[in-house]
Structure formats: structure tokens, C-alpha cells
Amino acid sequence: MYVDSRHLVQPSNRDEYEISDAIDLLIQSGRTIDAIGLDGWRIDVGYPEDRDEAEQRLTGGTQSDGEQGTDSTAESDD
């Protein structure tokens, strides 16, 4: 969805593409928006150190709290 409408959205004052702007444009154009719930963890990979942490998690590297697939710094999908 985001990639589909990214070319229509202008960067924000932070010079970033805002997903809320993309969603608004899709709704205004009559598109249907669906959400899919996922179990597990998510991590923002906007910075190199975040990508490194995600790679460690995906390859079985050390977790911040010692548990596979969980971390107090990651956002829950609940």
C-alpha cells in the first residue's frame, strides 16, 4: 500500500514520507484499506543500528532481554 501511493505523497516537514498521508490519499481516491494483524515483534529499521538489531534477531543473534523474538525496546503488535 505505502509503496503503491508513495509517488503521490510529498515529503513532510521532516523530509519523510508519512504513511498517514498515503492512507488518506488512498481513501480519498476510493481505495479500500485493509489491516492484517500479525503476532510477534516489530522494530523500526530507520537507522543502521536498528537494522543491525533486526538482522541479529532474524539470524538468531543475541536478544536484548535474552529471549528469542522478544525485547523490551521493540513494539508489540498487540
In a domain, 63, yes or no: yes
The number of angstroms, rounded, from the C-alpha of 58 to the middle of its chain's C-alpha atoms is: 15
Q: Is the pLDDT of residue 75 over 70?
A: no
Residue 18 and residue 46 in one domain: no
Residues contacting 13, CB < 8 A, separation 6+:
none
Residue 53 and residue 23 in one domain: no
* Residue-wise pLDDT tens digits, 11-60: 889 988 888 888 888 889 898 888 888 888 888 888 889 999 999 998 98
Residue 2 and residue 23 in one domain: yes
Which is higher by pLDDT, 30 or 61? 30
Model pLDDT, residue 13: 92
Q: Is the pLDDT of residue 78 over 80?
A: no
Residue 25 and residue 56 in one domain: no
Residue 26 and residue 9 in one domain: yes
* d(C-alpha 68, C-alpha 45), whole Å: 18
Model pLDDT, residue 69: 46
Number of domains comprising the chain:
2
Residue 20 and residue 49 in one domain: no
What is the domain extent for residue 9?
Answer: 1-36
Model pLDDT, residue 72: 45
